[in-house]
A and B are shown apart, each in its own frame.
Chain A
Amino acid sequence: MKGPRYALAVDTRTCVGCAACVIGCKEENAVPLGTTRDWIVTETSGVYPALATQFRSERCNHCADAPCVRACPTGSSHYGPGGTVQVNPAKCSGCKACITACPYGARYVDPRTHTVDKCSFCLHRLASGKRTTSCQEICPTASILFGDLSDPESEISRALARRTWTVLLPDAGTEPQHYFLK
């Protein structure tokens, strides 16, 4: 693919689940009350007393093979700059096929516009010259990395090369571009 390939990674070793990313996103994107574009998952695994807890800041996975884009009958859900997945509200009929198609439950109907919405990787910030997403900017433990995977020298590329990582539901075949550093 030519051009940038935007991706986001969350460092699960340093994330403390404070939910500042959720609040920052709500503030930046005027997310309506009762809905969220990102959220915190707290996963505790193991058998007592050998338990381990992981905090994950999750959002739309901006899949390279996005089922929501394939399911959209009007072309509203589409691939945007840097391979991100975007919604054009002007084209959205609110049929909710994309919500049904998303295995991550990342989408919702905006109660104000009656169109589907979700995390955009803060594309508007990138367009205005900023280089961070709002969740990344507000994160007090610097656990969120956002950048261009097509640039091997970007911070996220180097972190993914250096560290072990996971993605969610790899068997769903969606090629998520949201990574979790272990």
Chain B
Amino acid sequence: MEITTTRQNPLIDPSLHVWHGEVAAYLFLGGLVAGLMILLGAYRLWKPERPRSQALARLPWLVPVLLSVGMLFLWLDLANRLNAFRFYLILRPETPMSWGAWILLAVYPVSLAFAWNESPAAWRRRALARWPRLAALARCSEARQRPLAFATMNLGILLAVYTGILLGAFAARPLWNSPLLGPLFLASGLSSGAAFILLFGLEDEERRLASIVDMGVIGAELGLIALWLLGLAVGGLAAQSAARLFFGGPYTAAFWTLVVALGLVIPFIGEAIEYKRRATPGRATALFVLAGGFALRWIVVFAGQAAGWVGQVAGK
């Protein structure tokens, strides 16, 4: 069968390209921020009394900063940027992008209060001496250490999962249309968060813990990628056609080398060797993980738009 079309809508024909690098960058930063929130919140809940390294105590401030950078990318991708406020005039429960917008808004106050609680006491005293009007807010925040840590962790989970469900909900894009994209992006976000933490000057025990978490979620990520691709390969015609993008199609080399080999397998082996030799986890493997996490979002965003429904008609 041959189809000739005279359509010529830019960004739509010959294949869909409406979401560009900005969306991929946002999805990566959103996942990274979510991973940081989950790990930092969980660590506070798990070891509430343990003193933290200076770096770990200050890292939570990067959550709103990185999220703002991500949201800037998202805003840049909008065709009609002046109408961005429209996201916050309505909540549409059936639309992942709508509840995602509200999750992003909720992250700010929670992550700022959590970051305040996690900051070194001397630093907080100095800040209050400079801005005494913050005292009431600070007291309110400090009185809720555990609930805020719990909220941070759970908002992180929601943020990570929503980015996957956002793409997974598009039935018109067979590559994305999988419920596994939510947990895959959660695992990828956790892995990126752990790798990001490893870039800073932590204590040895904190580094080892982050490295162990990273190894665990990399393993989960590999399993989820295998299940996702399996689901496509054994699916209908449209899903099989989408799977071929990674099996001989134009995204094959990039996906298997950048995402799977360099982003997952090699850092996993590196971290396993470090763990076995009781060596302090280094930054090189963490950089590989971060690059792999970015490549995953980039390739999934672009490949997903290259896949569509295969022409079919039916009627009476």
Contacts and interface: CB of A to CB of B under 8 A. Distances in A.
Chain A, interface size: which category? Answer: 35 or more
Contacts of A19: 6
Contacts of A70: 94-95, 169
B315 A180 contact: yes
**Most B CB atoms within 10 A — which of A67, A171, A182?**
A171
Contacts of B87: 73-74, 93
Given A72-B95, A74-B83, A109-B79, A100 B12 contact: no
B80 A94 contact: yes
B80 A105 contact: no
A96 B10 CA distance: 13
B7 interface: yes
B5 A93 contact: no
B227 to A, nearest CB: 23
B78 interface: yes
Given A94-B78, A94-B79, A94-B80, A39 B316 contact: no
B315 A165 contact: yes
Nearest to A88: B86
Interface in B283-316: 305, 308-309, 311-316
Interface in A58-106: 67, 70-76, 90-97, 99-103, 105
Contact of A103 (B10, B79, B97, B171): B171
Contacts of A115: 79-80, 83
A141 interface: no
A12 to B, nearest CB: 10
Interface string A141-182: 000000000000000000000001111111111000001101
Interface in B254-270: none
A34 B97 CA distance: 29
**Most A CB atoms within 10 A — which of B3, B9, B171?**
B9
A105 B7 CA distance: 10
B19 A107 contact: no
Contacts of A105: 7, 9, 12-13, 16, 308
Contacts of B81: 93-94
A42 B2 CA distance: 8
Contacts of B89: 74
Given A93-B81, A94-B81, 6 more contacts: A35-B9, A67-B172, A93-B87, A95-B78, A167-B313, A171-B312
7 contacts: A42-B6, A71-B97, A95-B78, A96-B18, A105-B13, A108-B10, A114-B80
Interface of A: 19, 22, 34-36, 39-45, 67, 70-76, 90-97, 99-103, 105, 107-109, 111, 113-116, 164-173, 179-180, 182
Top-10 shortest CB links A-B: A94-B79, A166-B315, A94-B80, A103-B172, A73-B98, A74-B86, A73-B97, A108-B9, A39-B7, A96-B18
